[in-house]
Chains A and B, each alone.
Chain A
Amino acid sequence: MELKVQTQGGCASSGCGSSADRLAHLPEAIRAKVNNHPCFSEDAHHHYARMHVAVAPACNIQCHYCNRKYDCANESRPGVVSELLTPDQAVKKVLAVAAAIPQMTVLGIAGPGDPLANPERTLETFRQLAEKAPDIRLCVSTNGLALPDLVDELCQYNIEHVTITINCVDPDVGAKIYPWIFWNNRRIKGRKAAEILIRRQQEGLEKLVARGVLVKVNSVLIPGVNDEHLKEVSRVVKAKGAFLHNVMPLIAEPEHGTFYGLMGQRSPTSAELTALQDACAGDMAMMRHCRQCRADAVGMLGEDRGQEFTLDKIEHLEIDYAAAMQKRAEVQAEIEARRAAPHQPAKAAFVSLASIERVRPQPKPAEPRPVLMAVATTGGGVIDQHFGHARAFRIYEASVQDVRFIGTRQVDLYCTGSDTCGEAETRLEQTIRALDGCEAVLCARIGYEPWGKLEAAGITPNGEHALEPIEEAVAAVYREWLDAGRLAPVAAASERLSA
């Protein structure tokens, strides 16, 4: 089933384009809310920025993947912050950032801890922002335990999005993830704790959906604990009206001091994550570009400009927010005009209808095998990045039917200071590991040393398609390999690999 479509400029090529399509079932009002939210829309994250403020570090549950002690400037992952703010300080920081970065559309409160565990600080921040910065969208991320009681109040402050972390709907699975919760003035452990948490999460989800609030569900993929079970979680939350499901890999390094990190629980591989995302996909939107940001991240996804806006730097700043709001509106209107403009000269590419529907056709045994290729791109839909500059690679699967966007793999995963954190692994080794399963990497340029190491790892570097549209280049490389006889059918492929 082959369908000829026009490749489009910007990120509207099949990866991001299909992401827009995946949200196409949503009513117009919801799509408008998603359109400029960098975390929800895969296309928007190339244009818009977000920030998190850490105001509420308390938590009412313990998760085996979390350790709230951690504070590291080099790390980028949930729970990590350098500075805890009062609501007044947080509001000032938001206004300062919004004035300096007009692309900033979203303010989230996402930890450390659970923002709704001591709701006063979180709600006070939202209350002030709804009044002082009405052009900023507010969102909150929660474990859900306190959520049902706070839905009404959250709705008063223009909270359009809520993320609930739901790792299970079965208390027996939950008992392996949550050692305890604090509930009705007591610490409760084991299965009973998980049962209460699950009930409250589902109740919160239902109430938010009934109020028209967009709900995204985050799930942490923990191999051997909830991997199979997450398919059921996805089915349940989708049936209840969650609009996006984000399955994230467990982060479990021993140096983070978490239960899983210390007890040897492994993180999933990129391939396992992709397989589970595919299995959960069905007709529900799956989020595939999540960067698992710091709880005080500032700027575009994957970058952190937090150091420009520390308390001492903004303390004496006078912000004319009325002027800033006008500038923001202008800049954002320009972005929208650019996004809506007719796309670059259309060249034909083959993208199957099946790929848009996200139903993956199984290749027949006699067909040439599909190939995973990684692409270094800054996001314009073309191969335009130096291999060594890429902080993330877009992964495509090429087959005889089509070129399909699989997801994004990060290489600056969670830690950017490998020299100081006791990590023996070099950046290049990390990159090669992140590209596990890929057979080619397409980039604008690549140095001599990484070239050799990639080849040694069985990944063919290719700089011949610089500045070409991604799908066309991937398809061209695939055809070239096909013609050269490199793509023996699946059964024969294993022989080739072991040879």
Chain B
Amino acid sequence: MAFKIIEGCVNCWACAPLCPSQAIVAAKPHFLIDAHTCTECAGDYADPQCASICPVEGVILDGLGVPVNPPGSLTGIPPERLAAARAEIRAR
């Protein structure tokens, strides 16, 4: 099992120094997790470190492909409000 960083990552560097397995790679266009090295922090921390500091919702997936920080969970912005605001801005 390993975590995965997907598109949407803003390369903010917060996760990389926290990884107990040095599994995070500062790659382009966004950071990546080496699936062979990632332990999901098992044995090191109660919570997976990368996902516990990541500021962007939905960009870190767990071993089952489920976002660890689903939309709305970090910013408190309801996903429907976000979608509506984006539509309003596009319509200008």
Contacts and interface: CB of A to CB of B under 8 A. Distances in A.
Interface of A: 56-60, 62, 64, 68-69, 84, 112-113, 117-118, 120-121, 179-180, 182, 185-187, 254-255, 259, 262-263, 422, 424
Main secondary structure of the interface of B (DSSP, over half): loop
Contacts of A84: 11
Which 7 A-B residue pairs are closest in the complex by CB-CB distance?
A: A58-B14, A422-B92, A187-B52, A182-B53, A58-B13, A57-B12, A262-B85
Interface string B48-92: 010011011000000000000000001111000110010011001
Nearest to A424: B92
Contacts of B14: 57-60, 113, 117-118, 182
B78 to A, nearest CB: 9
Interface of B: 10-14, 17-18, 45-47, 49, 52-53, 55-56, 74-77, 81-82, 85, 88-89, 92
A311 B49 CA distance: 32
A262 B52 contact: no
Given A59-B14, A62-B75, A118-B14, A254 B85 contact: yes
A57 B49 CA distance: 17
A178 to B, nearest CB: 10
A60 B53 contact: yes
A125 to B, nearest CB: 14
Given A56-B13, A69-B56, 9 more contacts: A57-B13, A60-B14, A68-B12, A69-B10, A121-B13, A185-B45, A187-B53, A254-B89, A262-B85
B84 to A, nearest CB: 9
Contacts of A113: 12-14
A185 B45 CA distance: 7
Counting chain A CB atoms within 10 Å of each CB, which of B75, B88, B92 scores highest?
Answer: B75
Contact of A187 (B47, B77, B82, B85): B47
A179 B81 CA distance: 17
B45 A262 contact: no
B76 A179 contact: yes
Contact of A58 (B12, B49, B56, B82): B12
A259 B81 CA distance: 10
B74 to A, nearest CB: 6
A262 B89 CA distance: 11
A262 B11 CA distance: 23
Contacts of A255: 89
B45 to A, nearest CB: 5
B24 to A, nearest CB: 12
Contact of B81 (A186, A263, A424): A263
Contacts of B89: 254-255, 422
Contacts of B88: 254
B75 A259 contact: yes
Nearest to B56: A69
5 contacts: A62-B75, A185-B46, A186-B46, A255-B89, A259-B76
B42 to A, nearest CB: 14
B12 A185 contact: no
A263 B82 CA distance: 9
Nearest to A121: B13
A263 B74 CA distance: 14
Contact of A262 (B17, B47, B53, B77): B77
A182 B52 contact: yes
A424 to B, nearest CB: 7
Contacts of B49: 185
B10 A118 contact: no
Contacts of A120: 17
A68 B53 contact: no
B61 to A, nearest CB: 17
Contacts of A117: 14
A262 B12 contact: no
Contact of A180 (B74, B77, B92): B74
**Which of A112, A113, A187 has the most C-beta atoms of chain B within 10 angstroms of its own C-beta?**
A187
A422 B90 CA distance: 9
Nearest to B90: A422
A214 B88 CA distance: 45
A123 to B, nearest CB: 13
A262 B55 CA distance: 17
A206 B49 CA distance: 30
A255 B85 CA distance: 8
B68 to A, nearest CB: 10
A180 B56 CA distance: 13
A68 B81 CA distance: 19
Contacts of B56: 69
Contacts of B85: 254, 262
A56 B11 CA distance: 11
A186 B47 CA distance: 6
A120 B92 CA distance: 43
A263 B78 CA distance: 9
B12 A59 contact: yes
B47 A185 contact: yes
A59 B55 contact: yes
